[in-house]
Amino acid sequence: MKISPDLYKRLYDAVAPVMPMDGMNSERKRWDALWASGFPAMDLYRAGLNDAHIDTVLKRIATFNHD
């Protein structure tokens, strides 16, 4: 993944508690979880990530959060 370990940890800590159980199956639910978390999404774009990169990270969080 293109995200730095530090930024990933911050994002995981914010998004994991609000990620729905079926977040892996729905792009909309993953992004809703990002916005519901209150995480400053602009930090992700400033780090050089685009929407595809961010969604990949959100998929990973959804997978690890509900194994």
At 64, is the pLDDT very low, low, confident or very high (cuts 50, 70, 90)? confident
- Scanning the structure block, which residue is given the tokens 């685009």? 50
Q: Where are the domains of the chain?
A: 5-65
State the alpha helices, DSSP H only, in 1-67: 5-15, 27-37, 42-46, 51-65
What is the per-residue pLDDT across 14-55, written as a single tens digit (0 to 9) for each?
999 999 887 778 999 999 999 999 999 999 999 999 999 999
- Cβ–Cβ < 8 Å for 3, 53: yes
